[in-house]
Chains A and B, each alone.
Chain A
């Protein structure tokens, strides 16, 4: 069974740090780029960050660039989000997500689309 399990959430004060983890199972982890997405309770979804399958390329939303760092350990099927200089507006439910992979027989190549596997999420609360 394909599964993503997040952990590491908690309650911290503004300016503090937190490291989220996401452990994958049921698929070849390093075949896939991976995302972090967050959601403020009662609000919409916000894309946070993306990392390539081999970990060499990373991308961030404007709201977290310079404060958050995405990384992965493919030997442990694990994805991470290091969150520094946390702000109250970072309070949210954090999900890791995997793209949908489609094999194009004509082009004989894999293509990746959207986010079709999600974890159950972990809660981050930043409050003084």
Chain B
């Protein structure tokens, strides 16, 4: 099985930049994905293929990858960005998927 490690929580002031990291050996060869989940709601895909934004994801969300780490960057954080963020990846065949433990982002 695979493991993805995220910080459990982080806080940021409005208009600042939040960077959430996700580490795991699988990320050296496979894409990382990011999901935003607000209380009582289903997750929403905000980044796929390490750095691509689905239509509807605000431009302040960006993703990057380096070695065994992927990073979600939120530039100019807004109050509405307060949520749980989960990274995800899969094995080379796309047949076994794994989520990180999630990072609770608090906007101060």
A-side residues, CB < 8 A to B, are 35, 37, 44-47, 50, 57, 59, 61-62, 95, 100, 112-116, 118-121
Contacts and interface: CB of A to CB of B under 8 A. Distances in A.
Interface string B32-46: 010101000011110
25 contacts: A45-B35, A45-B43, A45-B88, A45-B102, A47-B97, A47-B98, A47-B99, A50-B94, A59-B96, A61-B96, A62-B1, A100-B45, A113-B31, A113-B33, A113-B48, A113-B52, A114-B88, A115-B35, A115-B43, A115-B45, A116-B45, A116-B48, A116-B54, A118-B43, A120-B42
Contacts of A44: 84, 86, 99-102
Interface residues of B, number: 25
Nearest to A47: B97
A50 B48 contact: no
A45 B41 CA distance: 12
Nearest to A62: B1
B49 A113 contact: yes
A12 B81 CA distance: 37
